[in-house]
Amino acid sequence: MNNQAAIRILMVDDEPAIRRALRAPLLELGFHVAEASRGEEALQMLRAAVSDVVLLDINMPGIGGIETLRRIRAIAPRLPVLMLTVRDGEEGKVEALELGADDYVTKPFSTRELIARIRTAVRRTRAPLRPEDAPIEIGEIRLDPAKRMVTKRGVQVHLTRKEFDILYCLMARAGRVVTYARLLTAVWGADCREEVEYLRTFMRQLRKKIEDDPSNPVYLLTDVYVGYRFADAQMLQEEPEGAAGEAEAPQQ
């Protein structure tokens, strides 16, 4: 049995049409799929059976997606949770990420995109924990926290202290979006968590040093209105392998 076939997904969405649109391609690829229409039902199912990842709609009746996420984190801190959001729901995305959501996918989305995010989230959880001072190498970029050194293609990249701290915060969570507030707090402190323009200035300088083409970044990616993420190895590939068709989930 391959790793994908072992993945147990709990899909939580109050829209039957969305669940139907996702169920067939997920089952076809060998995923195990359980479904819940409300957060209360999902919490009961998580207590009764093991899941490897949760797809959680952010807008649902009852306790809603955000409160469901909060309660999931209380009972399963490391369980990957991907939020299903609407296009104009930036505030909800940020709140979910701050509460510990692993990622989000915006409706309407392709099945290909969703499967890639599922694989990435589960792979991260199953990977051994990395020591904080262990070097991080992604693509052509290598960051050594102990030496506070960054190289690209083996050549040292000279960064300021703040630029290094930003890059370390992003590379340590590669593939995951880091909200503006979390990044500002980690590097400058809680008093600066609203200084988004200040952060953007530093990111422009960092891209000039890291990217081959700063106007078309490959590593330092922007999630508009939400934050930044450093691409992981899977994202650097052109396409996720073995993805199913492009059937889109309907927008709520």
- The correct answer on CATH 3.20.20.70 for the domain covering 4-126 is no
Tokens of 66: 């955000």
Q: In this predicted model, what pLDDT tens digit does every residue of 117-143 receive, in sequence order?
A: 898 889 888 877 778 789 999 999 999
Task: Report how far residue 54's alpha carbon sits from residue 244's, in angstroms, rounded to the nearest whole number.
Answer: 19
pLDDT value of position 209: 97
Domain borders along the chain are 4-126, 136-171+176-231
Residue 248: per-residue pLDDT:
40
Neighbours of 86 (CB within 10 A): 16
- Report pLDDT for 246: 35
pLDDT at 218: 95
Residue 34 phi, psi (nearest 5): -115, 155
Q: What is the pLDDT of residue 82?
A: 96
250 cis-preceded (ω within 30 degrees of 0):
no
State which fold the 136-171+176-231 domain adopts: Arc Repressor Mutant, subunit A (1.10.10)
User: Does 108 sit behind a cis peptide bond, omega within 30 degrees of 0 on the bond before it?
Assistant: yes
Q: How many Å apart are CA 115 and CA 110, to the nearest integer?
A: 9
Please write the tens of the pLDDT for every residue from 7-20: 999 999 999 999 99
Q: List 152's β-bridge partners, or say none.
A: 141, 155
| pLDDT for res 183 | 95
All residue ranges of the chain with pLDDT < 50 are: 1-5, 238-252
Helix, strand, or coil (residue 190) = helix
Task: For residue 68, give the 3-state DSSP assignment.
Answer: helix
